[in-house]
Structure 1
């Protein structure tokens, strides 16, 4: 009798978790990973042009404080290729690839600095916007972003099915904006901005490459072997030293940033709570974390010196032990007061007056246009009546055209009424004079032009009116 087939053993919890988080299941072939990572090293052909255009886009975005433009530039940027290839070369001990990656990364950084420096030297917008200043003070959080972004990027590039990880990493790690900010520092001689921005770019490069080394080592991709194990230890030690030397200053900067933000938060709360005095309003608060200075400008009745000293004595209890308080008051005596309601009413009255004046100017412009339009319509009716009367008096003339025109060469001169017609028989000279006199009376103008023509065979004869040539303006 056959034994029943045994049930497959259920995986343990540890095995299930290991399988779910395994990076080996959907890993691409080693040759495909090698080919993909090496392909992004070179900076030739269209790539330098794309890099320069991306730098221009990012510089414009920083100059105009536009997040959308900056993000677009980071999506276009080809800077990730040499950095990831650098980490890959270190991970597999391919020092020829490391040298090529460093050379191309240096060329890319040089092109980026040159392009951004030229832009900021030529742009008329020379004010440093918040997006630009944000790239001058790197901290530990930038290290964490670069490390996490680098890990995500290299994991995405080693998969069989490529995803949109690389564009996301390019946006998160922000390689382009620091180079543009460094260019701004060079263009304006701001060496602090240049140093901070270039340090942020260095943090991104080092920790993205370090993340690539970690993942390459974890995936155990084929790498060259050192004949001397000590040399391998020296290479790894040098890499670790570079990472530490790059990251350690960011820890200090992060601590300083945290201290500054804590100081600002406590100082704002202190000012808000301590200056809740009747009829006294805080007009402005300026905080200087570096010197622990709190500068407050007040309007309203002047506070006595004793009151300000009492407020200043409460600084240590609010966690502002080393802070200095400076108070500026708008009034010079206790009896002086500012009527805030009256001030608001006066401002509102000024706004209303300005709006009324603008409305009056618009009404005047509309009235002038209406008058002009009414006069134009009146002339059209008059011109139609003149045409009918002329045809009734001279039935031998047709194609009658009545209008107003500016005589040639007179530029913006007043339009002159004119009448032209084709006649089977030209009127006599005395009749032409009578037509001129009639047209002056009929149009109320001291100057008119009459042009009469007769066609016999191929010959056109005009009545002798002595009229100069006209530039047509308005006709009926």
Structure 2
């Protein structure tokens, strides 16, 4: 009876509908992904709160570390060295107050929020004073590429802060903490823009200062926002309980503030994408009409329109042609807001001409060096060929000719004379080969049919006796 039930159960399992199998597969997959993305495992809520609160105060060692890291980052920006900037990020304590703000909002701790905001402000002041002082006294102070990268903030830049803040709060919330990697990720979005703000202050360049500080503030906000979201997802306990009205007001404030922060960066990103597309169209225009004459170009962005400046060599543009090309930009390349201007031969910058002459001179030198190298290589190949021929002649086939000749005379008495030599043979298209050559002279009284039979026997005898692969016999 039991055996029948077991058999029946097995039969039912084997004949389950496909729908049930798919449900089981979906449930197993969902369970696997839940375990893979589970942040509750290894979570230490109390340890997270203590770690952030202990490090959020910007005083003592933290203040000194921040000053040192800002000074190193400023040096990296001034020297245009990404490696030095990354070195400054490794020691930066700048992320602690921002994580403290996100934590305080997430657990509704108003006292911690006040302390975090105060020390965040202190950190900003320390960074601005240090970087401004450096860029005020530096003998360099030029706008390097590393500085210019931080003057055009857009929405994509904030992604560094989002994922940096995500890595930071997840790492700090573990029982086994590791702050190095998220520290670098967060500092990437914070330190350089703040140092560039100091550069703008030191040089009185307010657009640079404001753009860089906006990038810093944008990234700081997203780090705090990411921290707040993770704190709530991990269900950290509130310090003081929120009623539904206060919770709704907090969500509204965060949403509105997020939109206010995001909108300018979204507009900048849109303008950047449009400008990049215009630049690609300008390159297509140059390739179609000035490929052989244009030595350089630049697309200058203006408030109301852009200007495409072409530097030409060996071609003059008349005013009528200028109007024609402007119309062509608008009609064929959709660049209605772009005006064309030319820098022609007589107004080319002297340094660019010198640079071109230097490049041409270098190309001539390289060509001469290649020609000399080809001649040397040809001479070496000729010498190698001659040496190979000498080696072949040295390694030519040698046989005990005297004894072989005596044996041939004994076997074939009609032979009057035998000769031997190594002969070079060429079929022109193929390589030259060396083959052994035997010359035999028969007695005049030897019949022709006997010669033919004996010559075949001589061939077989020499192949075996002299241990040869091939040979040639000339008989007369």
Structure 2: gaps of 5 or more residues: 11-23, 348-352, 366-476
Partner of 2:156, secondary structure, is helix
Partner of 1:23, secondary structure, is coil
1:8-31 Cα offsets, whole Å, 9 max, x none, are x9952222222221111232x221
Structure 1: gaps of 5 or more residues: 333-339, 353-476
Pairwise CA distance, 1:82? 0.8
- Higher mean displacement: 138-147 or 11-20: 11-20
- Give 1:56-455 correspondences, 5 Å limit: 56-163=71-178, 164-173=180-189, 175-226=190-241, 228-276=243-291, 281-290=293-302, 291-316=305-330, 317-330=332-345, 344=357, 348=361
1:24-61 Cα offsets, whole Å, 9 max, x none, are 1232x221122122121112221111111111100111
Pairwise CA distance, 1:229? 2.5
Give yes or no for contact 2:153–2:214 (8 Å, CA) kept in 1. yes
1:89-111 Cα offsets, whole Å, 9 max, x none, are 10000011111111111001101
Give yes or no for contact 1:54–1:77 (8 Å, CA) kept in 2. yes
* TM-score (ref. length: structure 1): 0.65
Partner of 1:169, secondary structure, is helix
- C-alpha change, 1:16 and 1:103, in structure 2 (3 Å) is same
- C-alpha change, 1:54 and 1:172, in structure 2 (3 Å) is closer
Pairwise CA distance, 1:303? 4.1
Give yes or no for contact 2:98–2:116 (8 Å, CA) kept in 1. yes
Pairwise CA distance, 1:310? 3.6
2:50 paired with 1:35: yes
- C-alpha change, 1:344 and 1:208, in structure 2 (3 Å) is closer
Alpha-carbon separation, structure 2, partners of 1:84 and 1:245: 21
Pairwise CA distance, 1:227? 5.9
Pairwise CA distance, 1:171? 4.5
CA RMSD of aligned residues (A): 2.8
2:32 paired with 1:20: no
Partner of 1:12, secondary structure, is helix
* TM-score (ref. length: structure 2): 0.65
1:274-332 Cα offsets, whole Å, 9 max, x none, are 1135xxx2233121122311111212142455544443332121131221111232259
Alpha-carbon separation, structure 2, partners of 1:183 and 1:149: 23
Give yes or no for contact 1:312–1:325 (8 Å, CA) kept in 2. yes
- C-alpha change, 1:153 and 1:195, in structure 2 (3 Å) is same
Aligned length: 335
Partner of 1:284, secondary structure, is strand
Give yes or no for contact 1:263–1:289 (8 Å, CA) kept in 2. no
